[in-house]
Amino acid sequence: MISRNLAQVREKIAKAAERAGRNPKDITLVSVTKQATVDQVREAVSSGITDIGENRVNDGLLKYEKLGAVSQGLRWHMIGHLQTNKVRKALDIFDTIHSLDSLHLAEEIDNRAKAISKRVDCFIEVSVSGEASKYGIEPKDAEQFIVKVSSLSNIHIIGLMTMAPFVDDAEITRPYFAKLRQLRDNLRSQNIPNTAIRELSMGMTQDFEVAIEEGATVVRIGSAIFK
């Protein structure tokens, strides 16, 4: 079942990329396992999944431990809101953090990463929808925020992340993804030191095809794989 679901997701990714004149190989599929069992994750890995996304640190740690040797060959992504008191544990397994949204959090990541000689790839979470329920910095504050974070030597900013509103019609999300892409392009042109603002983490099960058409380089998909 999971193998078939993955094949369908990959086919949709490829078709969306082709519609946008892009190479499907330039898009990373992060398999979101928050509702998946360890056995389901094993099946996904055996079907070719290499990137695992988790919303909660403790859930990620548990799966990492239960997967044993398998977990060593995976790239782990923290995609949910990260509390500062969870940073130390998070850095034990996560290679990439998608939800950096405050200077306080950035400083904690930097300090903890420095203690273990680790440089952490981070996405800056941006609230392009303006919804009060969404985390993230305001688009107008992004450049100033990134300049501040770029001075932290153990953080490497690789791109921007956002969550579009949950709507029935995915087409409604298009302007939000386009806005993040435009912001990424503007920030990239600033050549801010200690950053490589190339990536766009945007698009989930309900809207990833539109996100890819608008430039997503990373999509975070869970229920379409583990349904």
CATH code where residue 70 lies = 3.20.20.10
Give the pLDDT of residue 104.
97
Burial class (CB in 10 A: 0-12, 13-18, 19+), 97: buried
Looking at residue 80, its pLDDT comes to 96
Q: Which pLDDT score, from 0 to 100, does residue 190 have?
A: 93
pLDDT at 227: 83
Return the pLDDT at 169: 94
Q: What is the pLDDT of residue 46?
A: 94
Identify the bridge partners of residue 159 per DSSP, sorted by sequence position. Answer: 123, 199
Number of structural domains the chain divides into = 1
What contacts 203, CB < 8 A, 6 or more positions away?
164, 177, 209, 210, 211, 212, 216, 219, 220, 221
- The series of mean pLDDT values per 10 residues for the chain, 227 residues long, is 96 98 97 95 96 97 94 95 97 97 98 97 94 86 97 98 93 97 97 95 97 98 95
Query: What local confidence, expressed as pLDDT, does residue 134 receive?
Result: 79
Query: What's the pLDDT at 24?
Result: 97
Residue 130 belongs to domain spanning = 2-226
Q: Report which secondary-structure segment, H or E, holds 170.
A: none
pLDDT at 130: 79
